[in-house]
Amino acid sequence: MKTPKIKHTYEIDQSGKLEYTSHDTVLAISNGKSFSVALKAADKRLLQKMYRKLFNKNRQFVYEVFSALVYILLHQVKPNNQVTIDKEYPGKEALIKLHVIEYDKSKQKDLKEIINFGLVGKKSPAHKLGYLTFKKQKKPDKIISVEEIVKIIFPSKKTGYSSISGTKGS
């Protein structure tokens, strides 16, 4: 059996856009070693509701949650090379990069230097992993909870999302 060829650049791809709250979202990273995370549709709806109620910023929900998912992937894999994130939200790359850097409290890597945006094609291992996971042909390596996202985006703030869903707040 062939071992996967390690590319110089890590690639991140998304399957199932965050704004489509009727289905799960999967983000996958690959560079020979791969990792995928999934955010359930119900959790996306809860986060979206929180953003609408607390901040009146529906669209901001997409960029901040996407950035948090990217951060989780980078934190899990700890890439040692360049990372190319697929251009899922054209024109918002600088905002997404800013959020990812902001979420990295440990500052173990200089994320500013390694994060880039580009087109990740359908032949990319990250795309294949994300798609297969999205289609439930593979299990995600990690299912992300609302609590995890809230802790990343609002590390020291009371979010009050418990008043929205009746769940435990941070």
Contacts of 97 (CB under 8 A, 6+ apart): 111, 112, 115, 117
Q: What is the Cα–Cα distance from 153 to 64, expressed in whole angstroms?
A: 7
**Predicted model pTM:** 0.86
Residue-wise pLDDT tens digits, 111-123: 888 999 999 999 9
- Class of residue 133 by CB neighbours under 10 A (exposed 0-12, middle 13-18, buried 19+): buried
What's the pLDDT score for residue 96? 97
What's the pLDDT score for residue 163? 42
Q: Which residues pair with 13 in a beta bridge?
A: 28
